[in-house]
Amino acid sequence: MKEGPDIARIGALIGDPARANILTALMSGKALTASELALEAGVTAQTASSHLAKLMDAGLLQQRKQGRHRYFQLRDDEIGDALASIMGLAAKLGHTRTQTGPKDSALRKARVCYDHLAGDLGVRMYDSLVKHEHINWDGDIRLTDKGRAFLADFGIDDHSFQTSRRPVCRSCLDWSSRRTHLAGQLGAAFLQRIYELGWARRIDGSRIVAFTPNGEKAFLKRFSL
State the pLDDT at residue 100.
44
Contact 185, 193 (CB under 8 A): no
Contacts for 13 with CB less than 8 Å, ≥ 6 apart: 19, 54, 55, 58, 60
pLDDT value at position 98?
A: 58
Query: Does residue 182 or residue 204 have the better pLDDT?
Result: 182
pLDDT per residue as tens digits for the range 123-159: 999 999 999 999 987 767 889 999 999 999 999 988 8
Cα separation, 134 vs 100, in Å, equals 34
Question: Can you state the angle between helices 34-41 and 45-57, rounded to 10 degrees?
Answer: 100
Cβ neighbour number for residue 12 with a 10 Å cutoff: 13
Say what the pLDDT of residue 27 is.
85
pLDDT at 151: 94
Residue-wise pLDDT tens digits, 49-103: 999 999 999 999 999 887 777 889 898 888 888 888 888 888 778 777 654 443 5
Please name the residue ranges forming H helices in the chain: 7-15, 17-26, 34-41, 45-57, 77-92, 104-109, 120-131, 145-154, 184-196, 213-222
User: What does the mean pLDDT of the chain come to?
Assistant: 87
Provide the pLDDT for residue 156: 93
Q: Residues near 43 by Cβ (< 8 Å), separated by ≥ 6?
A: 18, 51
Give residue limits of the domains in the chain: 7-75, 101-222
How many DSSP H helices and E strands does the chain contain?
Answer: 10, 11
Query: How confident is the model over 189-205, as a mean pLDDT?
Result: 94
Name the CATH code of domain 7-75 (choices 1.10.10.10, 3.40.50.300, 3.40.718.10, 2.40.160.20): 1.10.10.10
pLDDT at 90: 83
Q: What is the pLDDT of residue 2?
A: 66
Rounded Cα–Cα distance for residues 87 and 173 (Å)? 8
110 pLDDT band, cuts 50/70/90, is: very high
- The tens digit of pLDDT for each residue in 8-42 reads 888 898 989 999 999 988 887 778 889 889 988 88
